[in-house]
């Protein structure tokens, strides 16, 4: 797999989320183990106090070994080794469990040496009350212990459930992290899928435009040859038709070139051939070509110096500046005016393109440099283009490290596009 920036970012993000989730699971396990230990200690201390009080009532001496035996996670056997009454035992169990704040249901049974069986006691709820509806004659749950005579057993049927509910906060955090991980993975899949579609789209555009250029070149060659023939020159109608074919073919060729340029800049395969050239001379060429193409337009160039040397790709620089001027004329009034100004600004060079057009609504200004975006206009049916001109302009500026901005002229008509060329790009 090719490790580009996207893959690296996705991998780092995935590792970070998995790491956080792993830490959360470790913390959850530690909290679970701590909760188990804490509950076990509470039960042990409470039962130990119960035994102490029973021995105290009988004026007996406590045994050296602990009388409490943990048979399983939720089952305890207490070897009292002395006589005791069921009612006293139940009273002590309630009090001692309440002291240690052991808020969970439990049930107990007492061994009857006469019948050699475990006699079920009561099912006591969290509130310390005997609930007859919950009372279980679960004799099989209390097993006998060989070798013991005076003992009782306590069982906590909801102990494992208590572990889970007591860790509710940790479960919520873990669930949120899992949700974030799922959303992240889903977003990554969508992003990679979208990236794949984008690459397919670029390949399609490149193949389509290249396929268009071959027949279009043939049309232009044939049309340029035919228009010079005597039969065509002597026929005004045929001559006019052929000129229309040539004119429209040239426009179509320009659109294809723009689409190819945008596709190349998006694919990152544009290689800038930077060299030092005079910005004023290039802008003068832009002005002359625009004036020739649009006879009704008035394009002016103002520069406080005649020699501004810039280190950039002259071909792309000409294209983006001509594109800006052409857009200003195409979308301008019947007598469009475009003023190009070149001046030093701080440590760099600033180019401004000001027109007298209708301007752009504020809600559209932030999107004019987006690909395929076209500002809604009343005469939009009469305006040609694919909405990629200014997108191409911004891409070339970004590749050079320049800043480009656009704003309305306020009370004056039209807009102003500004390109700031930093000192690093000056020769």
HEC per residue, the chain: CCCCHHHHHHHHHHHHHHHHHHHHHHHHHHHHHHHHHHHHHHHHHHHHHHHHHHHHHCCCCCCCCCCEEEEECCEEEEECCCCCCHHHHHHHHHHHHHHCCCCCCEEEEEEECCCCEEEEEEEECCCCCECCCCCCCCHHHCCCCCCCCCEEEEECCCHHHHHHHHCHHHHHHHHHHHHHHHHHHHHHHHHHHHHHHHHHHHHHHHHHHHHHHHHHHHHHHHHHHHCCCHHHHCCHHHHHHHHHHHHHHHHHHHHHHHHHHHHHHHHCCCCCCEEEEEHHHHHHHHHHHHHHHCCCCEEEEEECCCCCEEEEEHHHHHHHHHHHHHHHHHCCCCCCEEEEEEEEECCEEEEEEEECCCCCCHHHHCCCCCCCCCCCCCCHHHCCCCCCHHHHHHHHHHHHCCEEEEEECCCCCCEEEEEEECHHHEC
Per the prediction, the chain carries an average pLDDT of 81
pTM higher than the cut 0.75: no
- Band the pLDDT of 405: cuts 50, 70, 90: very high
Lowest mean pLDDT among 259-268, 306-315, 352-361, 415-424: 259-268
- Band the pLDDT of 299: cuts 50, 70, 90: very high
Lowest mean pLDDT among 96-105, 188-197, 293-302: 188-197
- Cα separation, 374 vs 390, in Å, equals 10
Q: Is the pLDDT of residue 344 over 80?
A: yes
- Band the pLDDT of 395: cuts 50, 70, 90: confident
- Band the pLDDT of 354: cuts 50, 70, 90: very high
Q: Is the pLDDT of residue 95 over 80?
A: yes
Strand partners, 278: 309
CA within 13 Å, CB half, 292: 7
| pLDDT reported for residue 377 | 66
Lowest mean pLDDT among 86-90, 176-180, 245-249, 382-386: 382-386
- Band the pLDDT of 420: cuts 50, 70, 90: very high
Label the pairing between strands 68-72 and 75-79.
Answer: antiparallel
- Cα separation, 7 vs 4, in Å, equals 5
Query: Which CATH architecture is the domain 274-425 placed in?
Result: 2-Layer Sandwich (3.30)
How confident is the model over 45-59, as a mean pLDDT? 89
| pLDDT reported for residue 1 | 46
Q: Is the pLDDT of residue 269 over 70?
A: no
Distance of CA 376 to the CA centre of its chain: 31
- Band the pLDDT of 136: cuts 50, 70, 90: low
How confident is the model over 362-370, as a mean pLDDT? 81
Q: Is the pLDDT of residue 194 over 50?
A: yes
- Judge contact between 194 and 139, C-beta under 8 A: no
Q: Is the pLDDT of residue 373 over 80?
A: no
Q: Is the pLDDT of residue 5 over 80?
A: no
Closest by Cα among 198, 302, 290, 212 to 255: 212
| pLDDT reported for residue 340 | 93
């Amino acid at each position: 797999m090719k490790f580009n920036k996207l893959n690296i970012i996705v991998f780092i993000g995935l590792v970070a989320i998995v790491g956080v989730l792993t830490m959360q699971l470790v913390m959850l396990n530690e909290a679970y183990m701590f909760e188990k230990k804490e509950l076990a200690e509470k039960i042990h201390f409470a039962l130990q106090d119960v035994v102490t009080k029973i021995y105290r009532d009988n004026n007996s001496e406590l045994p050296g070994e602990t009388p409490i035996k943990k048979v399983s996670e939720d089952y305890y056997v207490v070897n009292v080794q002395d006589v005791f009454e069921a009612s006293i035992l139940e009273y002590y169990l309630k009090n001692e469990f309440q002291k240690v704040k052991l808020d969970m249901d439990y049930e107990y049974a007492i061994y009857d040496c006469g019948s050699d069986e475990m006699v079920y006691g009561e099912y006591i709820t969290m509130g310390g009350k005997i609930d007859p509806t919950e009372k279980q004659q679960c004799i099989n749950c209390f097993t006998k212990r060989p070798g013991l005579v005076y003992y009782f057993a306590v069982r906590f049927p909801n102990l494992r459930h208590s572990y889970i509910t007591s860790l509710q906060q940790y479960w919520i955090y873990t669930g949120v992290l899992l949700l974030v991980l799922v959303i992240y993975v889903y977003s990554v899949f969508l992003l990679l899928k979208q990236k794949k579609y984008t690459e397919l789209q670029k390949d399609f555009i490149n193949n389509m435009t290249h396929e268009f250029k071959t027949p279009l070149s043939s049309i232009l060659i044939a049309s340029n040859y035919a228009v010079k023939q005597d039969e065509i020159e002597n026929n005004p109608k045929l001559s006019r038709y052929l000129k229309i074919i040539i004119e429209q073919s040239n426009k179509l060729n320009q659109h294809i070139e723009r689409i190819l340029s945008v596709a190349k800049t998006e694919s990152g395969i544009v290689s800038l051939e930077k060299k030092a050239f005079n910005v004023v001379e290039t802008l003068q060429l832009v002005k002359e070509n625009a004036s020739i193409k649009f006879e009704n337009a008035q394009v002016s160039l103002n520069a406080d110096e005649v020699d501004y040397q810039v280190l950039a790709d002259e071909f792309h620089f000409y294209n983006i500046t001509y594109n800006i001027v052409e857009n200003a004329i195409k979308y301008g009034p019947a007598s469009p005016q475009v003023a190009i100004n070149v001046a030093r600004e701080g440590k760099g060079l600033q180019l401004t393109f000001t027109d007298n057009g209708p301007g752009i609504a504020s809600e559209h200004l932030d999107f004019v440099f987006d690909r395929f975006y076209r500002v809604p206009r009343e005469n939009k049916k009469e305006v040609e283009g694919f909405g990629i001109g200014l997108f191409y302009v911004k891409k070339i500026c970004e590749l050079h490290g320049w800043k480009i901005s656009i704003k309305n002229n306020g009370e004056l008509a039209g807009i102003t596009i500004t390109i700031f060329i930093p000192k690093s790009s000056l020769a």
